[in-house]
Structures are given as C-alpha cells and as structure tokens.
C-alpha cells in the first residue's frame, strides 16, 4: 500500500520519522487552544478540535496521497482568527468566525477537486520553488533559535544573540550537539534520539516535570459548532465577511502548496516540475480545514515540521499514518503532551538541523540570472523576517512577473502567476495579514 521498497524505506524508518514529525509539531495542540482562547473559544474545545483536524488531514495525506506530510491547524492563521477577525470586530463572535472558515474550507475542497491547484503547482517557476524550500528552511531554523532564547529581540537591531547561560539555551545546544554527532555517524532516527536525550537531561535537571499528571479524558464541551453550509454562508453574507473568507482561502492555498512542494522536493518525491498524486494531497488540508471549523479550530495547513520526519528518513504515507496515530493518543495524554511541548529546547535542535538541510536547495537557483534569482532571494529573506511562509510566497509571486516584464520575457510567465501576483498585491496592501 505504501510502496516501501519502491521508495527505498522500511517500516522502522517510517515509524521513527512519524514520531520525529509528531514531536516537532505537537506543540500546536497546546499553543492553538491558548491563542483561540483569546477569542473566547473554550480551551478543551480547541484542544480536541485541533487533534480531530490533524488526524483527518494527516490520515488522508498518508492513505490517499502516500506522502510523509502532516496536516494540522496553522500558526499565523490562528492568530489572524483570534485577533483580526474576532478581536477587531465587535459584532463578530467566534461562532460567526468559524462560519467564515467553514465556507472557505468548502470552497477549498471544490478548488482541490478541480485541476486548478495541480496546474498551480506546475505553473510555479522552478526557481521560486527552490526559494520556497530554502526560505522555509531558514524560517524554521530561526523559529528553533528564537523559541529557546538563543536569538532574542533587540530594541535597535530587532534581533540579537540571547543569554547562552539560560537553561533553555544550553539545553538546546546540548541537544544540537548530540543530534549532529548521531547524524555524522549516520544513525537512523538521529533527530528522534536527539530529542530523547535532550528530554532525559531536561527531566533530571528539573526543567521537565509532569505536575498535572499524564492522562486526561478529551472532550468537546460545545459539540459541533458549525455544520450547516447554508447557515454558515448566511453568517458570512450578514456580516460581510467576504474579505475574511478570501484571506483564509488565499493564504491557506499558498501556505499549504508551498510547504508541500518544499517537503516533497526535500524527500525527492517531485517528478520534474510536477507533484504526483497532487490532487489527493491537496484535498487533505481542504477537508481537514472544513472539519476543523465544524469542531472549533482555525484553518489547517501542511506543516513545515514534516521536513524533520523526512530528514529522519520518512518517504511514504506510513510516516503520516504514524503521526495521525500519535495525535489520537495525544488526545488522552493532554497533560503529558503539554509538559513536553512546553519545553521548546527538546524539539528546537531538529528544527535548526532540518532548516540547514532545506537551505541546500539554494545551490540550484540560477544566481547568474537576476530575473530568476532576485524573486527567489526575496522569498528566502522575507519568510523569516515576516514570520510568514505565505507572505514570502506572495512577495515572490509579485516580484517574479515584474522582473520578467522588465527584461522583456513576459511570455515566459504562466498566466496563473500574473493572476496571483495581482491577488497577492491586493491581499498584502488592502487586507489584514
């Protein structure tokens, strides 16, 4: 079913890769409820809804697309939901906002069933794809450094070196060193074993504790929040949430598509300029986004942390199925998951190392052709500086056709690139992001 031999992998490697991906992204089951709680959504509701959405999307990805890519509610989109949609509209409560997410998800499914999104993958210029991969790598490495205090805010220069004497900083450096040594000796699952070593040190030094116990029963205190498309559409029309639906739709399409391309390229699963089984893969996040809105969470996205599992050897959907199974287990281990994911030093080394591996795509960019290189450079630069994959992709899509037109090569640009350059320009200038 998963074609393990064809993809030169085995069950052990795939399971370890799934565990690695899960550990690098499981923070979302804690962070997402915290953010959406600011919009008034009950913590337990979002905790369970986050897991349901992750299971649905990731299982679909593994079983029908056979890719080692995990799906879960996206960071950034949850903040937009809580602070821009609900927070700045006095007459918009979270139920109405979920209606907008639900409608965006339905439109998303329809687009995924058409050749549109597959054509979009083909239409994206090769150097932009390479820039997306490298930009994501730099972004997740920056996240790993920032979350652990190795890089910190500076009032003048924005960022600076943090205090390396802080426990989280030296624990991260320890985990980084152990993992790199294991990788140097080509130990399979080095990223996962590095996390285990870091977790043990954290536990015995008192940085990791389980004060809330280990097990708790999951629940949905408000049941299904949105289920009727007609009523949801009525909410969107009544409150004029067209721009909100458009923003969710546009950002999710490109955030997910860009991440899928980046991870697939890293795993060597792209066939030239195309992504096999693209429709099945793209359906996974659109279905998960719709289901997630019904239960009470913000839109889903393909997770850049999937690249950690790919670096650990994941090549097939068995990796994704493993991730989905672990999300199911995590529903019953809320306190344990909260404790581990609350200590970023355990997963940060994996993010930093994977970031360095993904930066390797820079070497294939045509740096001697300015009209190809500069848009890719802008993507790589803007993703970590704006803390947004979608913003980086938007800037790349806007600058690429402009550079081509300036050089008189406008015929080389696919019409879809021109279309989305206009849409992205409108979104960046006139819509919240």
Q: Judge whether 86 lies within some domain.
A: yes
Between CA 175 and CA 306 the distance in angstroms is: 19
Question: Tokens 């979104």, residue?
Answer: 427
Task: Tell me if 375 sits within 8 A of 396, measured CB to CB.
Answer: yes
**Residue 206: strand, helix, or coil:** coil
**Residue 38: strand, helix, or coil:** coil
Q: To which H or E segment does residue 424 belong?
A: helix 415-430
Which pLDDT score is estimated for 130? 87
Strand partners, 71: 302
Per DSSP (E only), the strands in 243-305 are 300-302
- The string over 351-379, giving b where at least 16 C-beta atoms fall within 10 Å of a residue's C-beta and e elsewhere, is bbbbbebbbebbeebeeeeebbbbbbbbb
pTM: predicted TM-score of the whole model, two decimal places: 0.74
Per DSSP (E only), the strands in 194-238 are none
Task: Tell me if 263 sits within 8 A of 284, measured CB to CB.
Answer: no
What is the extent of the structural domain holding 349? 11-357
Task: Tell me if 2 sits within 8 A of 315, measured CB to CB.
Answer: no
Between CA 31 and CA 3 the distance in angstroms is: 35
Question: In the chain, how many domains are there?
Answer: 1
Q: To which H or E segment does residue 153 belong?
A: strand 151-154
Between CA 270 and CA 272 the distance in angstroms is: 6
Strand partners, 104: none
Residues 6+ apart with CB under 8 A from 389: 132, 135, 136, 139, 254, 255, 258, 259, 304, 383
Q: Judge whether 230 lies within some domain.
A: yes
DSSP annotation string for 292-355: HHHHT-PPEEE-TTHHHHHHTT--SHHHHHHHHHHHHHHTT-HHHHHHHHT-GGGTHHHHHHHH
Digitized pLDDT (tens) for each residue of the chain, 433 residues in all: 888 988 889 999 999 999 989 988 887 887 788 788 888 898 889 999 999 999 999 999 999 999 999 999 987 678 778 877 786 555 788 999 999 999 999 998 998 888 877 777 778 888 988 888 888 788 888 888 988 999 998 888 888 999 998 999 999 999 999 999 998 997 767 887 888 899 899 999 998 888 777 788 888 888 899 999 999 999 888 888 887 787 788 777 777 888 888 888 888 888 777 788 888 888 998 999 999 999 999 999 898 889 888 988 899 999 999 999 999 998 998 777 667 767 888 878 888 888 888 888 899 899 999 999 999 999 999 988 887 777 888 899 999 999 999 999 999 999 989 998 998 898 788 765 5
Q: Judge whether 415 lies within some domain.
A: no
Q: Judge whether 419 lies within some domain.
A: no
Q: Judge whether 167 lies within some domain.
A: yes
Tokens for 53, please give them. 């959405």
Between CA 389 and CA 424 the distance in angstroms is: 13
In 61-166, alpha helices (H): 77-79, 94-113, 116-123, 126-147
Q: Judge whether 269 lies within some domain.
A: yes
Between CA 207 and CA 254 the distance in angstroms is: 38
């Amino acid at each position: 079913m998963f074609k393990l031999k064809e993809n030169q992998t085995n069950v052990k490697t795939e399971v370890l890769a799934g565990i690695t991906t899960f550990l690098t992204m499981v923070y979302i089951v804690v962070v997402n409820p915290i953010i959406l709680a600011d919009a008034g959504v009950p913590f337990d509701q979002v905790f369970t809804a986050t897991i349901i959405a992750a299971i649905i999307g990731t299982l679909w990805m593994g079983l029908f697309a056979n890719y080692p890519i995990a799906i879960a509610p996206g960071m950034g989109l949850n903040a937009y939901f809580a602070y821009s949609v609900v927070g700045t509209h006095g007459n918009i409560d979270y139920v109405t906002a979920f209606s907008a997410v639900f409608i965006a998800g339905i439109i998303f499914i329809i687009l995924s069933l058409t050749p549109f999104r597959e054509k979009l993958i083909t239409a994206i210029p090769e150097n932009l794809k390479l820039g997306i991969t490298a930009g994501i790598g730099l972004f997740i490495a920056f996240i790993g450094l920032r979350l652990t205090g190795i890089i910190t805010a500076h009032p003048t220069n924005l960022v600076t070196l943090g205090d390396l004497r802080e426990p989280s900083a030296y624990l991260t450096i320890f985990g980084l060193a152990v993992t790199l040594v294991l990788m140097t000796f080509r130990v399979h699952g080095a990223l996962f074993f590095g996390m285990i070593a870091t977790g043990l040190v954290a536990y015995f030094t008192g940085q990791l504790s389980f004060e809330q116990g280990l097990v708790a029963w999951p629940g949905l205190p408000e049941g299904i929040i949105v289920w009727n498309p007609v009523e949801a559409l009525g909410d969107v029309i009544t409150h004029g949430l067209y721009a909100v639906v458009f923003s969710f739709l546009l950002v999710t399409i490109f955030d997910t598509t860009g991440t899928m391309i980046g991870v697939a390229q890293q795993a060597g699963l792209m066939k030239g300029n195309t992504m096999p089984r693209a429709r099945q893969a793209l359906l996974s996040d659109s279905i998960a986004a719709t289901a997630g809105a019904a239960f009470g969470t913000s839109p889903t996205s393909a997770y850049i942390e999937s690249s950690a599992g790919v670096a650990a050897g994941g090549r097939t959907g068995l990796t994704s199925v493993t991730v989905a199974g672990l999300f199911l287990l995590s529903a019953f281990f809320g306190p344990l998951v909260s404790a581990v994911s609350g200590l970023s030093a355990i997963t940060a080394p994996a993010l930093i190392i994977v970031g360095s591996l993904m930066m390797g795509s820079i070497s294939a960019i045509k740096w001697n052709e300015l009209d190809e290189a500069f848009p890719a450079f802008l993507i790589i630069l803007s993703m970590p500086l704006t803390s947004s994959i979608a913003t980086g992709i938007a800037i790349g899509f806007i600058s690429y056709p402009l550079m081509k037109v300036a050089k008189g090569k406008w015929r080389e640009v696919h019409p879809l690139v021109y279309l989305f350059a206009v849409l992205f320009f409108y979104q960046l200038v006139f819509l919240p992001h």
